[in-house]
Structure 1
Amino acid sequence: MNHPGATELKAMAWTGVGVGRPHESAELHVLGQATYTDDIPELRGTLHAALGTSSKPHANITAIDFAQVLASPGVVAVYTARDIPGTNDCGPIIHDDPIFADGKVEYVGQPIFVVVADSHDNARRAARRAQVTYEELPAILTPQAAHAAKSYVLPPMHLRRGDCQAAFERAPRKLKGTLYVGGQEQFYLEGQIAYAIPREADGMHVYCSTQHPSEMQHVIAHALKLHSHHVLVECRRMGGGFGGKESQSALWAAAAAIAAKKTNRPVKLRADRDDDMMVTGKRHCFWYEYEVGYGDDGRIVAAKVDMVSRAGYSADLSGPVATRAVCHFDNTYYLSDVDIRAACGKTNTQSNTAFRGFGGPQGAIAIEYIVDEIARELGRDAYDIRKLNFYGKDERNVTPYGQVIVDNVIHELCDQLEESSEYRARRQAIDAYNAGSPVIKKGLAFTPLKFGIAFNVTHLNQAGALVHVYVDGSILVNHGGTEMGQGINTKVAQVVAHELGRDLRHVRVTATDTSKVANTSATAASTGADLNGKAAQDAARQIRDRLAAYALRLYGGVPGVLAGGASGAASEADAAAVEEVLFYDDTVHVNGHAIPFAELVQKAYLARVQLWSDGYYATPHLHWDPKAMTGHPFSYYAYGAAVSEVAVDTLTGEWKLLRADALYDAGDSLNPAIDLGQVEGAFIQGMGWLTTEELWWNAGGKLMTHAPSTYKIPGVSDCPEDFRAALFKNRNVEDSIHRSKAVGEPPLLLPFSVFFAIRDAISAVAGHKVNPPLQAPATSEAILKAITAIEASR
């Protein structure tokens, strides 16, 4: 048996991944030196734009008078749909989303025109002086109303397995009910913004805060009636995205580019917070009607659910969001016979769009609500009912859409959290506390998660990257992902550093740029590090293999290496020898020689060895039949669970999260420090969605919660004093980047435990004998309403 020598042992110990490293821009963020789109120095002659928007939810435009707009200080021009050189559309899938409304408006806040002026304030003030005459039309504002009117942006979808109706009729026990879960504003720190600069020969360079530069490139090219190669879209970083800048940054990018093209001057379009919230879409709210059959032990034997989302006035990404909701309805539970329907209700409100979780949270919360109901009906602990219904290992392991689960760790993960959170003892302690506390009631809940990782649309699961090694040994990386604070650039840099054996300080990641890596997918669906990390690894590995082959030629005495030329890679016969060359600790080890990386690079350059490479990755084994709603849509699953303890004042509806324990499966984490931060951030953001963040439209279709003064995101005081987040030790069974797992979206399901802990506390008012009719978000008003309802039923 061959034992590794000292050199091999050192190589095995050295790593660039799997260790906590600071975010690559952390210091710049703290010092205020990180450059966002609005910080880019403005070129001489830059103009500023503002949108003029509709004041009606549904109406024909009969006349527009721009006289006062054009007479306003600093105004240069006003442009409408008729001034667009090409296509008046910014819809990502279906072309039903105009850049500027043309003849008809379909929600309050819909852009009708853009004003271009010498300053941001002048443009914004002038935009409000337009005189628009409307002929009002009937408006639909809620998903329930849309469903009743059969008003949809897309045909409804339907997934069936088994004979749900027959199984329901045979079931010993049955329950039916409804649930409403509200939407959520992305509330990124940096609002929507684009800065468009005309270039020579019809070129257009657009700096844009976007998760999808390639989509922005396409929309701008079509709007300007140009080819994609005329348009360069660049994004160094965003001040948050959360899905709100996946498709809906297109409106702002296109409007800025149109104005820049027409004036032949640079134009910046920056949205104020109020305008941003009034114009852009949010997380889809959902209305559910469900019926479930189950046994005396609590095992579900039949589940039927009808889900209707508030899509808004156009399709946007509502179809894929609904698909993911359907595919996540099962969450961690085996459902033998199901009937799942989903519809995207067309309403006269903002066109809702991607939001962290992309329909997954909306799908999974429905089954969690159902399990919570079953437990209370049986007088059992909801966690025990959850465990009873978990997917199995070798049986009961096929999802309703036909994917076999091969990586199930939910049993082990939950067992670990049950012990570390002291769940059983705390449950007994809370029951004792509630028995002696008539006003303040405590609640406890344990909720699991299973989240599929990949884009619903198979062809989007691909990525490219460029890696350059310079003669001094420094490394520059460009990839198709976008940095929105989640640390993708840090992780990709770690992957490249690991591959080439370099310290992380020698690797730099540049701005995402459509002229460097083309045809990129959005940074979304939790695939950013998975896809772009693999692509960058591929590029770096090609360079490493070339350097290894060259090192063998110099120091190894291996015949045939680079026989095809100095810039060629090793032949098949030499592949094993190339693998024996070790790259670690900024040094290349070959045949007993230790050569500094930078020194070998300099020699390789003189020998005309190619020191840059492109990389590519496409996720394997994915397929999906959208008509049958079956296939293998996900590369793998991420798992997690959380336990939350709350206290609720039954007289005021106020509540407090006392303690939260979260355990998340990040696989073999690329960067545990960043991943823990993502888990904690997702937990608080998801908690906000389910508790304080309420979207409210008045009877006239106007969004009234359109500013920090009326829309309540969680603050520091809302965070639990005792917050115990940890990563579950695991290793991805799929060949993901270094066997890690995605950590962007799945942890947002962890705070389901907060919502159900509040529900548990409310149910204690009636001795846990009644299911509280609590809807989400569980605001203080909603909590009081639920308490009143259960007190009335006693």
Structure 2
Amino acid sequence: MNATVKNEYASGGSVLHRNISSGVQQYDKSQRQEQWSLAKSVPKIEGLHQTSGEAKFINDLPTFPGELYAAFVLSTTVHAEIISFDAKEALRIPGVVAFYTAKDIPGNNDFMPVKSEFSPNVEEVFCSGRILFHGQPVGLLVANTFETAQMAATKVRINYSTKPDEPIYPTVMDVANSKRHDRIVNIDYGFTGKSYSDSVTEPSMNVSGTFVSGGQYHYTMETQTCVCLPLEDGMEVHTATQAITLTQIAISQMLGVPENSLNVSVRRIGGGYGGKASRAVQIACACALACHLTKRPVRLIMTIESNMAAIGKRYGVVSSYCTDVTNEGQILRLRNEFLHDAGCNTNEAPDFMQGYYGNCYNMDVWSVVSKTALTDSASNTWCRAPGSTEAYAMIESIIEHIAFVTERDPVAVRLENMPTDSQMRPLLQSFLVDTEYERRRCEIERFNLENRWRKRGIAIVPMKYPVAYFGTLHALISIYHTDGTVAVTHGGIEMGQGINTRAAQIAAKVLGIPVEKISIKPTSNLTAPNDFCTQASITSEAAAHAVLIACDLLLKRIEPIRQQHPDVSWEQLTQLCHLQGVDLCATAMYNGVELPSYNVWALSCAEIELDVLTGNVLLHRVDILEDAGQTLNPEIEIGQIEALIYDRTTGELLTNRSWNYRPPGAKDIPVDFRIRLLQNTINPTGVQRSKATGEPAVNMAVVVLFALRNAINEARLDAGAPREWVPLGSPCTPDRILGHLGNSYDQYLLH
């Protein structure tokens, strides 16, 4: 850098420099010495096969004789009624076999057949009347090849009624800004604290603002996929789903066939995050219909463009809050009204949010009002940590705003609003020491004074995450008498979270054999009938619990033979059991009502660096402390811990592929990533004294946004911008960041 450049401007001459990433993983081994098969470092069972490309997913199934390919025909408008279809051009294309619509469905045109508080409404497999959103599936094109099906699907002409002159509202912000009250549904999952009042008599400061969080696509490596095969007694369904039971019921009712005629199986799926819970059922129904009508194998693989257009995403949210606080930041009264983006249907509204609103704070003087907006987009659905992500982001953003107005450290404001007996208090104090928060904050202040075009920020977020069990889930275990190997199948779906590894470790520990003797088989509706969807980070524990019960049943049968032959090997023991007619196959069921709920406690700290000239951000360091109880597999638990734009004239999704919708990449991983599992903790009510991981940690990601805001505030100070609250939400892209910095051309100086 030229010596004439002023030191504080020098940072503007280079891009953000990223060092090689490093990480620290800490967990307590000593407390689990007696649980050798759990304490032992067991790599993920499928890990090597996945990294080598040998792991088989649905679309890796071999091509079957006479197989056909299917592709959705999607609507090209919104609000209009379908009058008819003209498929003549598509059907003239060589290789095209058929085009199906709602009229070809022999049973119910509804892929959400199980009506409950989460899914009270019909959702059509193919739209039969009024178009609800641009990109809604209206039919299915079937052809001899994937390419032909995709191309021919675009040639089907849809004849619509005259489109009404009605505004299009693709997002919740559009509904909120338009004040269209007829688009708002009162699905009440709010609450009012016992001491809440509309006004306060004590001297106070008023803090009010908004928080906006946009939708989020489930960016899975595998799009929605299904392969169906006709059988002599029904159909075999291989589908990338988190919910085999719902899939079985929906296909049965759509085709008007018995449920026992359907064989639904899943070995693994290429990521889910909730996007393959109910949404995958629509794809399975469409594929099954084509298989049923053609009597041939059918493969339906959605392209990423059709996947993003037709399938719902995370519920977006707009929050409006008003609070009265003391000079120290204690909340005297808080009212938070928020509006959720349901898409075109209110199915799967996250009304379980109530348990997350308050985080670890005193809620007696709070009032939370929830409403849901119907928008002209695909019906939104559960996405990783649904409901809780928005809930924690809202309250933590309010806490940050209070700290900004009162000019206090956000950590002090958080402590001001925690109950005196909260378990979080000692954890937070210890975390501040472990992360060297005060020292680093002082260093960041000095760095910001010395650099005009680089700014750093640091923030801390605590979390109290309640976990409640529900549903039922089976496990079946078979011991093979000759070599003593064991096969396990359970009702959970492996989608990268390591559920199979945990199940194998539990079986090995209870049976007293090496993990290498355990093999995990695919999930099937034959061995896992009526099981609940894999979701909410509890399925790994549910599967482990069912495996544990089944193993205990086997041990009780084996024990008399073991007592007669105490010195024989496991292999000899299983042979003796077989010779004496002992049943070496057992099934068991986890029932959610059998296990009590508990809380997961966690903290996160993020330090970022901002390039004030470009809006780019470097995540310098992230520390996470999480209470995982007596973890089943620390490596896997640590691994679990480790923006949408529409054309407003048509409602068409424009960010429909990786070219214009950008997921986090390798350089978004923290340069310094430190994960620590809380030591000397046991969950006495959990499976093998463990706790859930995965979804809890996701809720603390908002800490990065807060650290970024602190850096933005420093940049605004240098730019001479007024000191005012910066309402950051998600997505938070470089262009949006630049809009907050207050830069002007006359500030671009060298000396």
1:113 partnered with 2:113: no
1:669 aligned residue (604, 615, 631): 631
How far 1:131 sits from its partner (Å)? 1.2
Conservation of the 8 A alpha-carbon contact between 1:153 and 1:344: yes
The offset of 1:612, in angstroms, is 1.3
Pairwise CA distance, 1:785: 2.1
Match in the other structure for 1:397: none
Alignment of 1:362-377 (within 5 A): 362-377=390-405
Tell whether the 8 Å contact from 1:447 to 1:641 is kept in structure 2 after alignment: yes
The alpha-carbon distance between structure 1 residues 475 and 412, as it changes in their structure 2 partners (threshold 3 A), is: farther
Matched, 1:234 2:260: no
Pick aligned residue for 1:464 from 474, 477, 496: 474
1:571 aligned residue = none
Query: What is the aligned-residue RMSD (CA, Å)?
Result: 2.1
SS at the partner of 1:620?
helix
1:626-664 deviation line (CA, Å, top 9, x unaligned): xxxxxxxx8112121111111112232222111111112
Match of 1:189 in 2: 221
Which runs of no fewer than 5 residues in structure 2 stay unpaired? Answer: 1-29, 746-751
Does 1:753 find its partner at 2:703?
A: yes
Matches within 5 A, 1:213-612: 213-318=244-349, 321=350, 323-393=351-421, 409-454=423-468, 460-471=470-481, 472-552=483-563, 554-555=564-565, 593-612=566-585
1:493 and 1:454, CA in 2 relative to 1: closer, same or farther beyond 3 A?
Answer: same
Conserved in 1, the CA contact under 8 Å of 2:142 and 2:290? yes
Instruction: Verify the 8 A CA contact 1:379 1:769 in the aligned structure 2.
Output: no
Aligned with 2:492: secondary structure?
A: coil
Tell me the secondary structure at the aligned position of residue 276 of structure 2. coil
Report the equivalent of 2:163.
Answer: 136
Q: Is the 8 A contact 1:492 1:536 kept in 2?
A: yes
Quick one: distance in 1 between partners of 2:203 and 2:683? 37
- Secondary structure, counterpart of 1:788 in structure 2: coil
- Inter-partner Cα distance in structure 2 for 1:549 and 1:177: 69
Question: 2:37 is paired with a residue of what secondary structure?
Answer: coil
Residue 733 of structure 2 aligns with an amino acid whose one-letter code is T
**Equivalents in 2 of 1:250, 1:384: separation in Å?**
47
Aligned CA distance change for structure 1 residues 140 and 696 (closer, same or farther; 3 Å):
closer
Q: 1:500–1:168: structure 2 CA closer, same or farther, 3 Å change rule?
A: farther
3-state secondary structure, aligned to 2:742: helix
SS at match of 1:415: helix
**Identical counterparts, % of pairs:** 30
Check whether the contact 1:300–1:335 (CA below 8 A) recurs between aligned residues.
no
The one-letter code sitting in structure 1 at the alignment partner of 2:626 is: Y
Which digits, 9 at most, give the CA deviation of each residue in 1:118-160, with x for residues without a partner?
0111111101001112232423222244453232466344322
Relative to structure 1, is the Cα distance of residues 730 and 271 closer, same or farther in structure 2, using a 3 angstrom cutoff? farther
Question: Shift in Å at residue 14 of structure 1?
Answer: 5.3
Q: Structure 1 counterpart of 2:194, which letter? A: G
Cross-structure match for 1:403: none
In the comparison of the two structures, how many residue pairs are matched?
699
* AA in 2 matched with 1:273: I
- Give the C-alpha shift of residue 59 in structure 1: 1.5
Change (3 A) 1:305 1:12: closer
How far apart are residue 52 of structure 1 and its match?
0.1
- How much has 1:246 moved relative to structure 2? 0.7
Q: Is the 8 A contact 1:365 1:752 kept in 2?
A: yes
Alpha-carbon contact 1:89-1:95 (below 8 Å) kept: no
TM-score normalised by the chain length of structure 2:
0.90
Q: SS at the partner of 1:751?
A: helix
**CA positional deviation for 1:107:** 0.7
Task: Write the distance in 2 (CA, Å) between the matches of 1:386 and 1:327.
Answer: 19
| Displacement after TM superposition at 1:758 (Å) | 0.4
For 1:509, give the aligned amino acid. I
Relative to 1, partners in 2 of residues 1:745 and 1:14: Cα closer, same or farther, differing over 3 Å? closer
Give the letter aligned to residue 514 of structure 1.
N
Q: 1:305 to 1:647 in 2, by over 3 A?
A: same
Instruction: Check the 8 A contact 2:474/2:527 in 1, yes or no.
Output: no
Does 2:75 align with 1:48? Answer: no
> What letter corresponds to residue 526 of structure 2 in structure 1?
S
Residue of structure 1 equivalent to 2:13: none
- Describe the superposition over 1:67-89 as per-residue Cα deviations: whole angstroms up to 9, x where unpaired: 11111121111110010011001
Deviation at 1:116, TM superposition (A): 0.8
**Which of 630, 641, 652 is the equivalent residue of 1:679?**
641
Aligned partner letter, 1:461: G
Cα distance in 2, alignment partners of residues 225 and 468 from structure 1: 34
Q: Is the CA contact 2:169–2:648 (under 8 Å) kept in the aligned structure 1?
A: no
Q: Which residue of 2 aligns with 1:178?
A: 210
State the Cα distance separating 1:774 from its structure 2 match: 2.0
In structure 2, distance between residues paired with 1:171 and 1:315: 42
1:698 CA drift (Å): 3.7
Query: Partner letter of residue 375 of structure 1?
Result: A
SS of corresponding position for 1:265: coil
Paired with 1:163 and 1:696, the residues of 2 have a C-alpha distance of 43
The answer to whether the 8 Å contact 1:324/1:358 transfers is no
Counterpart residue identity of residue 647, structure 1: E
Residue 196 of structure 2: which of 159, 164, 177 is its match? 164
Q: Which moved more, 1:514-523 or 1:430-439?
A: 430-439
Change (3 A) 1:550 1:303: farther
Q: Deviations over 1:93-123 (max 9, x none)?
A: 2232100000221111100000111011111
Structure 1 position 216, deviation (Å) = 0.7
Tell me by how many angstroms 1:479 deviates: 0.6
Q: Quick one: which amino acid aligns to residue 136 of structure 1?
A: K
Give me the whole-angstrom Cα distance separating, in 1, the residues matched to 2:185 and 2:520.
40
Shift of 1:595: 2.4
2:654 paired with 1:704 = yes
Deviation at residue 388 of structure 1 after TM alignment: 2.4
Deviation of the 1:601 alpha carbon: 1.3
Measured in 1, the distance between the counterparts of 2:36 and 2:646 equals 50
Are the structure 2 counterparts of residues 251 and 168 from structure 1 closer, same or farther at C-alpha, using a change threshold of 3 Å? farther
Q: Summarize deviations over 1:35-59 as a string: whole Å, max 9, x none.
A: 1000111221111100000111321
| SS across alignment from 2:741 | helix
Structure 1: distance between partners of 2:389 and 2:267: 29
Whether the aligned pair in 2 keeps the contact of 1:326 and 1:342 (CA below 8 Å) is: no
What secondary structure, in the 3-state scheme, does the structure 2 residue paired with 1:595 have? coil
- The equivalent residue for 1:85 is 106
Say if 2:90 is the partner of 1:69: yes
Q: Is the CA contact (8 Å cut-off) linking 1:659 and 1:721 kept in structure 2? A: yes
Map 1:2-81 onto structure 2 (within 5 A).
13=34, 15-81=36-102
- Tell me if the contact between 2:215 and 2:313 (Cα under 8 Å) persists in the aligned partners: yes
* Alpha-carbon spacing, 1:701–1:169, altered in 2? closer, same or farther (3 Å): farther
User: Using the alignment, how far apart are the partners of 1:264 and 1:112 within structure 2?
Assistant: 22
Tell me how far apart the structure 2 counterparts of residues 519 and 392 of structure 1 sit (CA, whole Å).
44
